[in-house]
Amino acid sequence: MTLTRTSPAWYPSNMATASSKSTTDAELVYHYFGKLLAKGGRDEPVERLLAELAEYYRELQHVRALIREAEESSARGESGPLDLDALFSRVDKRLEQEGIFE
């Protein structure tokens, strides 16, 4: 089973992982409205669109902060090789705790 986050179709696919220095807020808004219009979202209420953009922006800022924290930790030598088996084991355990099984 593959789990995916349900996001509005206009969410730029690379925004969350892009460095905070490589994507400006203006570009975020440009992508937001460009994707929205391309998907036929002309009739969406403005209040809803702005609320979704604000929520996405909050999520984006949180992810960027986590990425910066990880980069700084790695630069201090506090990281090691990625153990995929351990990672998948932790993910499986969390999913099972939430009642999600394969």
For residue 12, what are the contacts with CB-CB under 8 A and spacing of at least 6? 28, 31, 32, 35
Question: 17 versus 40: which is more confidently predicted?
Answer: 40
CB 101 within 8 A of CB 95: yes
Condensed to tens digits (0 to 9), the pLDDT of residues 43-56 reads 888 898 889 889 98
What is the C-alpha to C-alpha distance for residues 54 and 71, in angstroms, rounded to an integer? 26
pTM recorded for the entire structure: 0.54
> What pLDDT does 18 receive?
47
